[in-house]
Amino acid sequence: MTRTATPGDAPRLIGELGAFATALGPTAPASAALLAGLARDIRDGGAVGRTLLGHPERTQPLFGLRALAGLHRLMVDGSAPELAARFRAALRSPGTPPSADGLWSAARDVLLRHPAVIEAALREPVQQHQPQRAAVLQDGLCLLGGGRVRLLELGACAGLGLLPDHYRWYGPAGEWGPASSPVRLPAGPRSRPGAYEIVERAGCDLAPRDPADPVDTAVLRSFLPPEHTEDLTLLEAALEVAAAERPRVDRAPAADWLREELARPVDPDVLTVVWHSLVWHYLPPVERIRVDQVLSGYAENGHRAARIALEPEAWSGPVHLRLTLY
């Protein structure tokens, strides 16, 4: 199904793709070249650009990144050998800028040759699941004083952000966490061993991913640039932990789910912590207000609650840690 593009769609998508191409340039130049190629194709009225502008999801956040994820998936499954070869060449020569024209020409051919795969990719919400965000969560828990915690995550995806106590941490305070964990992460500046105990954990997401399902894990891998090999290795390790621990992630909207979770009783010494990272801008403004109202109402009834958020002010801006006590 296609819809007629509005006059503002093309400039918005071009600007979004250009901003992300600039941001990715230093660490993922081949991926940045593809995003810049997509932007040019939209500007020039090319076939790929027309497909993006006619897609019913084109107004969704980070829509242009979905096409890049679809290309990544086709490279991984062997359906785009020429494009994959160009990426491998870029990885072998990190100091040499890739041929932007050659990359985009190969990518455009793949996009036009596999319309069904790209159509499916354009319908997948962007889910850049990065276990290293748990370092920020852990800093927040320590700033809140630690202790016993009920951890609830909004936009939990596969649950990787619910498992900081199952990762191995290292930093100025030493090393802690399970020695056998395949996930090793640098601790944040405020983290310390033994500061908190997660006694209950759960999350929600409109499109949760099963960390043990090959299709779901392929989707998650596709949203990381192929050049970010360390991030991809870390993601694999965290998915292994999540597949073993199976944290509960329910398919549900944030505010309704949170209200139901907060109705479950906890011991008086347990602090309820609601946590989210790079998800707030996905929520409609009304949903954000409802989340705050649910938390405020919970606190007004005499319960202890806090919110830890790692979010940017705008999509392309830097992220900030925010703690809110209710």
DSSP character string of 20-70: HHHHHTTT-HHHHHHHHHHHHHHHTT-HHHHHHHT-TTTTSTTHHHHHHHH
The pLDDT value recorded for residue 3 is 53
Residue 202 forms part of a structural domain: yes
Q: Do 13 and 86 sit in the same domain of this protein?
A: yes
Residue 82 forms part of a structural domain: yes
How many angstroms separate the CA atoms of 295 and 323, rounded? 13
Residue 3 forms part of a structural domain: no
87, 122, 157 - which closes a domain? 122
CATH code of residue 299: 3.40.50
Q: Do 114 and 14 sit in the same domain of this protein?
A: yes
Check whether 152 has a pLDDT greater than 70. yes
Backbone angles phi, psi at 224, to 5 degrees: -100, 135
Check whether 128 has a pLDDT greater than 90. no
In this prediction, residues 279-307 reach a mean pLDDT of: 96
How many angstroms separate the CA atoms of 13 and 39, rounded? 7
Q: Do 17 and 135 sit in the same domain of this protein?
A: no
The pLDDT value recorded for residue 258 is 99
Q: What is the pLDDT of residues 12-25, one digit of tens each?
A: 999 999 999 998 99
Structural domain of 41: 9-122
Q: Do 20 and 37 sit in the same domain of this protein?
A: yes
Decide: 291 and 254 in contact? Cβ < 8 Å. yes
Domains held by the chain: number: 2
In this prediction, residues 137-157 reach a mean pLDDT of: 97
Report percent pLDDT > 70 for the chain: 97
Q: Do 74 and 216 sit in the same domain of this protein?
A: no
Residue 111 forms part of a structural domain: yes
How many angstroms separate the CA atoms of 223 and 125, rounded? 10
Q: Do 174 and 236 sit in the same domain of this protein?
A: yes
92, 122, 152 - which closes a domain? 122
Q: Do 236 and 192 sit in the same domain of this protein?
A: yes
In this prediction, residues 43-61 reach a mean pLDDT of: 92
Q: Do 45 and 188 sit in the same domain of this protein?
A: no
Q: Quick one: pLDDT band at residue 1, thresholds 50, 70, 90?
A: very low
Handedness of CA 67, 311, 270, 287 (dihedral sign): negative
Name the average pLDDT for the chain: 93
Q: Do 184 and 45 sit in the same domain of this protein?
A: no
Residue 116 forms part of a structural domain: yes
Q: Do 118 and 161 sit in the same domain of this protein?
A: no
Q: What is the pLDDT of residues 188-241, one digit of tens each?
A: 999 999 999 999 999 999 999 999 999 999 999 999 999 999 999 999 999 999
Q: Do 70 and 194 sit in the same domain of this protein?
A: no
Residue 1 forms part of a structural domain: no
Residue 75 forms part of a structural domain: yes
Q: What's the pTM value of the predicted model, to 2 decimals?
A: 0.91
Q: Do 63 and 151 sit in the same domain of this protein?
A: no
